[in-house]
Structure 1
Amino acid sequence: MTAEVTGLRADARRNRDQIVAAAKQWFAVQGPDVPMEEIARAAGVGVGTLYRRFPDREALIRAVVRESLTISVAEARAALAEEPTAWQALVRVLRQSRELRLIVRLTTAAQPAKTIVKDDEESSELRRAMIEVLDNVVHAAQAEGALRTDVDTGDVSMLFTLLVRPVPLQDEETAELARERCTALVLDGLRAHTGTPLPGRPLTAADVGL
């Protein structure tokens, strides 16, 4: 947590946390262009309070990106430390990280978020930490013989990016089922000894701009 946040009074920090939580919910559904008034309403604060904490949309997006990246890194590290195998850690990261899903959706669909991740030093540092953990998970899963050896971190990252894109179905229950089935198919394709050769060479994190 940054000094800027830890230095806030309890009520001010509570307002800030409520605003960021509401923004994350709205951004996940409608993207970062949702009206600020809607975010304030969902957070249970006035618009004036929102703008005192976040003077513009960019500041709010930056806060969401930083928090989601911080949680994503912690989740990935916990998966690697707690799961009995690296493969299970990889499955846990791909299936459970809502925060990472939000980051991917923001940075693949919205230029402001892309710019923030690129230009903000704290976000860039967290992004590098996330890539490092994912790299460790991928290579550990390969070393234990569970993950096919003709892929690399860039391949896994691109597959995850495809998985978290919104499913074009109106019924949310069916959409969630579709996501689960697609995830299961992707994971099955990542297993060692799958049998179908892949074209070209494995994609590294650098290949896909990570």
Structure 2
Amino acid sequence: MSADPETPLRADAQRNRDQIIAAARAIFASHGPEVPMEEIARAAGVGVGTLYRRFPDRDALIRAVAVDNFAGVLDDAKRLSVEAPTAWDALVQLLYQGAELQLSMQLAMLSQRAHEILKNDPEVARLREAVLLEVDDLVLRAQAEGSLRKDVGAGDVAVLFARIVRQLPAHRLKMPELATARSIAIMIDGLRAGPVTPLPGRPIGKEDLL
């Protein structure tokens, strides 16, 4: 993020920042956070100098993308919690939202570089915990509805999703979006209440991931 995120940006500066964040989000999701900064600037339609004025190094850009992304996931989770007809529907829709949740999982759990940058960041920690609290609430409510199997926790859902969205090299998967959607559908069926195979151990809760 910029050196002083509380200072309002001019319209053109804000537009440049938004373009950089959007480009970095898309590139991080498909290729990880190690992509050259020049490529991110080119995708954003700005000069490299503009990128570095807003984000002095890669760590600052990764943090800004993470904060922006976790905030988006949190907004989606809160909105679905209110708007969806049931907690199960809200959880399913959140999982199918895809891109923002996918990138959040990649940055939080799958990228070692991003994990090292973000693990002690207070704003990222606050947002990540808030997202997990929303997921935990949906899990408990869906279990109370009788829709979600009783022997899973919010951590189980997060870990399952993180494993599903782990990116395969493009040359090995011709239709990554379709493959991910099918995998999520299989995961959702595995989470439904009903005759199931007992799981080993205990449910993985949100506290296991914080």
TM-score relative to the length of structure 2: 0.92
- The farther-off stretch of 161-170 and 178-187 is 161-170
Q: 1:109 to 1:188 in 2, by over 3 A?
A: closer
1:9 counterpart = 2:10: yes
The answer for the alignment partner of 2:19 in structure 1 is 18
1:204 counterpart = 2:208: no
Task: Describe the superposition over 1:25-51 as per-residue Cα deviations: whole angstroms up to 9, x where unpaired.
Answer: 111111111111111111111111111
1:131 counterpart = 2:132: yes
Q: CA deviation at 1:112?
A: 3.0
The answer for the alignment partner of 1:39 in structure 2 is 40
Of all paired residues, the percent bearing the same amino acid is 54
Q: CA deviation at 1:160?
A: 0.9
Q: 1:4 to 1:175 in 2, by over 3 A?
A: closer
Q: What is the rounded CA distance, in whole Å, between the counterparts of 2:93 and 2:145 in structure 1?
A: 17
Task: Describe the superposition over 1:77-122 as per-residue Cα deviations: whole angstroms up to 9, x where unpaired.
Answer: 1111110000000101111141111111123332331133321111
Q: Tell me if structure 2 keeps the 8 A contact 1:116–1:123.
A: no
Task: Describe the superposition over 1:14-67 as per-residue Cα deviations: whole angstroms up to 9, x where unpaired.
Answer: 111111111111111111111111111111111111111011000000100000
1:175 counterpart = 2:181: no
Q: CA deviation at 1:198?
A: 1.2
Q: What letter is aligned with 2:191?
A: L
Q: What letter is aligned with 1:70?
A: A
Q: CA deviation at 1:5?
A: 5.8
Q: What is the rounded CA distance, in whole Å, between the counterparts of 1:44 and 1:151 in structure 2?
A: 44
Q: 1:76 to 1:173 in 2, by over 3 A?
A: farther
The answer for the alignment partner of 1:162 in structure 2 is 163
Count of residue correspondences: 209
The answer for the alignment partner of 1:195 in structure 2 is 196
Q: 1:171 to 1:111 in 2, by over 3 A?
A: closer
Q: What is the rounded CA distance, in whole Å, between the counterparts of 1:6 and 1:73 in structure 2?
A: 24
Structure 1 unaligned blocks of 5 or more: none
TM-score relative to the length of structure 1: 0.92
Write the mapping of 1:83-102 to structure 2, written as runs, cut at 5 A: 83-102=84-103
Q: CA deviation at 1:171?
A: 7.3
Q: What letter is aligned with 1:11?
A: D
Q: What letter is aligned with 2:83?
A: E
Task: Describe the superposition over 1:121-173 as per-residue Cα deviations: whole angstroms up to 9, x where unpaired.
Answer: 11111111101100100000001110010111111111111111114563766
Q: Pairwise CA RMSD of aligned residues? A: 2.0
Structure 2 unaligned blocks of 5 or more: none
